[in-house]
Structure 1
Amino acid sequence: MPSSLPLRHFLLALAVVAVWGTNFVVIRQALNHLPPLTFATLRFTFVLLPLVFFLKKPAVAWRNLAAYGVLIGAGQFGLLFVAMKGHISPGLASLLMQTQVFFTIGLAMRLSGERVQLYQWGALALAVAGILVIALHADASTVTPLGLLLVLLAALSWAGGNVTARAAGPVNMLAYVVWASLFSIPPLLVMALLLEGWPAMVAGVRAADLATWGAVLWQSVGNTMFGFACWGWLLARHPAATITPMALLVPVFGMGASALLLHEGLPGWKLLAAGLVLAGLAVNMLWPKIRALRAAAVA
């Protein structure tokens, strides 16, 4: 446990990453009945309603909310849900989505003109090696080439959403996500109608049982409302360098829950890929903190 983080705050952060990690198993269960884009449309509908009537619109431009809503809605979750409908296992999806960290850095540096530092190149090399291990073992039972591509595009969309949210400045993140959902729903609904069709959408909703609706609520209430609100609360009280490394546990929970609940196998190559990607994430997140501690010790 980080020394600067009180036990209650550490447990809260752990609860958030546990929800975010196990969420991939929840997604897979809901896709047994709901078409993926229909599922994504319902997810953001329940994020929007009824909270939009109780949370004040953040003081940001509508175009910023629209960009975030489309990137996170149609981009991140739309593509992720399509990929998880038979193209990638939940455990691998939870791992590959964390590549958004590197996409976020790349986009931010491109916009700011900053140069990538040596340790960031090393971190990226480790993560890319992990992705190559996954690509070399791609098959219908774990991840197809299409599934790999869709999840990486979803991670890129998530990164675009991160950069957009950062441009919004300090805002109530829960209110920001809720109001941005106004712009997530229309493209998802249009895509669902065009690619899945109204009959399949209606059939999916009619076939949905209590567990499926529970998964939809878990997406909106647990993953979004609880997760974003608590994460934002923690970031407001502690340095980002203390909180953000906890996100390294998301794929640990994701792969663990998938293995435990869905009996997803954990062969050596998958563990190697996870180790490489997580090592890259760890180097990227922790190296600046380690360097700062060394500089303080010398001084």
Structure 2
Amino acid sequence: MRPLHLLLLISICAVWGFNFVASKLAVGHFPPIFFTGLRFLGLGLLLLPWLKLHKGQMSLVLQIALFMGTLHFALMFNAIKMAHDVSVIAVIVQLGGPVSALLAWLMLGETVRWRRGLGIALAFIGSVVMSFDPAILSYAMALLICLLAMVSMSYGQVLVRRIQHVDPLAMQAWIGVASAPGLLLLSYFFEQGQWQATQAAGWGEWSLLAYSIIGVSLFGHGGVYYLLRLYPVALVNPGVTMAPVMGILFSVIILDERLSERALIGAAITLLGVLIVTLRDSQIVDKKPELSVEERAALAAATAKAKAGSD
């Protein structure tokens, strides 16, 4: 990879990694579902030029928006709000790759050979090791909700593999437009203090919202799509696994979080398993000549998104 493109990949991972901290700060002010609804409302408005009907595929597009947008982020941001250590959430989020592999095996009949199986097993073993840390057990419900969020994201990713000729920006536009109303409606029924939080928000809180829309969604996912047009998936996707490591570093530096030795060992085992699955999945995508460059990039971008976190 050329130095400039490597710098772009590192920058994307830094943006995604810092997003865990930004999200924690944001849900400290805004109700979590309400904040997510605002984020997708902004994303949908920015991507309106790419919003168009796809004949025969709209049912699938809307299902993807439901699982990768509304359900995933409603659960994810509540998990971030409930967790004491956002660095732990940054690791649990990485289970999206192994969960996707399991769902693809169950729903699409994809083969899970010993390398992928080893990676999946290590990812979950590491999460169990980390979860039994006494400090982390105190907010075990947040980890469970985060895992459910990743199951929702992973199911949406499996659906993405069935879709044809819908580029990532168009998919992002539909996720934004379709998710925002549902999230805001959920917030109306299950949260309170939305208007007060909006009135009290200063430039810092609105900057966090802008960061999640422009930095994470447009720069992050747009940058990965750009790189996937230039380089093999097997080169780009493993690099994305730097994001959770940066998320842990940012949480330690900015939020002054401290993980125990048990938590760090569990995190290392989980990330090793995720890396094995990522390498194997990337090789599988690169070996599919029947897919166009755009289709392969769209599939890989969805894979990277599921592994990068609350994008």
TM-score by length of 1: 0.88
Which residue among 186, 194, 202 is the counterpart of 1:191? 186
Q: Identity, % of aligned pairs?
A: 28
Which residue among 258, 261, 274 is the counterpart of 1:265? 258
Report the alpha carbon displacement of residue 163 of structure 1 after superposing the two structures with TM: 1.7
Q: Give CA deviations for 1:48-95 in whole Å, capped at 9, x if unaligned.
A: 11321x224264622122112111222221111111113342211111
- On the 8 A contact 1:75/1:153 being kept in 2, the answer is no
Matched, 1:27 2:20: no
Distance 1:15 1:170 in 2: 29
Q: 1:289 to 1:28 in 2, by over 3 A?
A: closer
Matched, 1:6 2:2: yes
Stretches of structure 2 lacking an aligned partner (at least 5 in a row):
285-311
Which residue among 87, 91, 94 is the counterpart of 2:87? 91
Report the alpha carbon displacement of residue 233 of structure 1 after superposing the two structures with TM: 1.3
Number of residue-to-residue matches in the alignment: 283
Task: Look up the match of 2:301.
Answer: none
Q: Give CA deviations for 1:24-50 in whole Å, capped at 9, x if unaligned.
A: 000011112100011011010110113
Q: 1:207 to 1:138 in 2, by over 3 A?
A: farther
Higher mean C-alpha deviation, range 270-279 or range 112-121: 112-121
SS at match of 1:164: helix
Q: 1:175 to 1:275 in 2, by over 3 A?
A: same
Aligned residue type for 1:235? L
Which residue among 93, 104, 111 is the counterpart of 2:107? 111
- On the 8 A contact 2:233/2:282 being kept in 1, the answer is no
- On the 8 A contact 2:93/2:146 being kept in 1, the answer is yes
Which residue among 131, 139, 143 is the counterpart of 2:127? 131
Aligned residue type for 2:118? G
Q: 1:165 to 1:287 in 2, by over 3 A?
A: closer
Q: Give CA deviations for 1:117-171 in whole Å, capped at 9, x if unaligned.
A: 111221112111111122211547x861210111001111111222222222343
Distance 1:37 1:205 in 2: 13
Task: Look up the match of 2:158.
Answer: 163
Task: Look up the match of 2:197.
Answer: 204
Distance 1:51 1:24 in 2: 23
Task: Look up the match of 1:283.
Answer: 276
Report the alpha carbon displacement of residue 232 of structure 1 after superposing the two structures with TM: 0.9
